[in-house]
Structure 1
Amino acid sequence: MRRLPALASVIAAGLSLAACQRVDNSAGSPTTYIDPGSMGPVKGVGIESQDIIGMTDQMLRDMLAQPRLANAQVPPNVIIDAEYFYNESSSRLNKNSITDRLRVGLNRAAAGRMQFVGRNYADMVQKERDLKRQGTVDKATLPAARAQKGGDYRLGGRITSLDARDPKTGQAQRYSQIIFEMVDLETSEIVWSGIYEFAKAGQDDVIYR
């Protein structure tokens, strides 16, 4: 019976020692916020957030300086989306991240000098129009329109790239060219064009998703 206190003391000492030991279960570095307009710790030769911000800011300023777009007597109806904005480059990216930012910036800065048509919402709008005209729902507060807005100008363009790699060093280099154009939807005239280009080089490329 005298062995029980001794055994209890050994167990207590073991538990105390285990409690004092710290095990690092962290996997990798902690997540931190970074400025999307500057180059982050993970960087490659593709199109990244700082490039998207730089190009859309530049195109926004250029478009607002185009009289036919921003200073017309009657504000034109414009469509800014990725439907005719093609990615033919080796960079993997979501085109909407470019066209959405451009549209939002223009809409805020134009201050009524342009009217923005959400062509991607046409189905949603038509369903609501049908419900109102069928009497399923009331007419709401806005006056009825004969039809949805048509577009005067629409964004088009493409992303292309030129890649090179040194087989001896593994160094990769990519030249990226992004073309933006506004097209007259009656005549197909290109009323405005903008270009954004850059080249990057790096020892190791990163994987873009």
Structure 2
Amino acid sequence: MRFSYYTTVFAILLLTSCSTSISTVRKEYKLAEVSKLKSDWNSDSKEWFLKKDTLIGNGNLQHWGVILSKKQLSKNYEIDFKANLTKGSLFEIMLNSDKENYIRTYLYQIDQNIVIGKGVYDKNSDEYGKRGGKSLFTKPMKLENNKWYTIKIKVQNNQLLFSVNNQTSLECSLEKSNLSQKGKLGFITNGEVKITDLSIKTL
């Protein structure tokens, strides 16, 4: 009986550690340790770092600060966190980042919108046209610096839901909008952003 128990526990740990996904059905991913930031994400430590329980990103208009997970998102997933754009005008969540293409879900302070779009990111270039991309869906929302926003993203059965403060939301079909259906998670800022309570789970 005891042997069977330990065998089951070992198998679960092995599956979790070998998983190519940032979260699994059995485990909700949370970011709370510096070691996890280094082992699970690709970033420049000058641009993105963990201070206590807060992930802080820095960028500017010429060079956006980017952090990208090393593992894939699951096909169906939910991402929850709180974000505060303390400086700058753009905070972007990169979804299903695959090679240079990704889904843009972002808060854009200049236009006072939340947005879903089709993006491109070339890590070797800051040239115009090699980062960001076309907006597909927008919804007006009052956005301010130094204010916390609760963000929820849900992708299930190729449907994307992007919600801010449980009040303003956008939805679309990944297939109908010709958006990436697999890839990694990332964050982009052209100023300074703070992120807390990040959790990613497989649905």
TM-score above 0.5? no
Higher strand share: 2
Q: What is the TM-score when the length of structure 2 is the normalising length? A: 0.23
Q: 1 or 2, which has the higher helix percentage?
A: 1
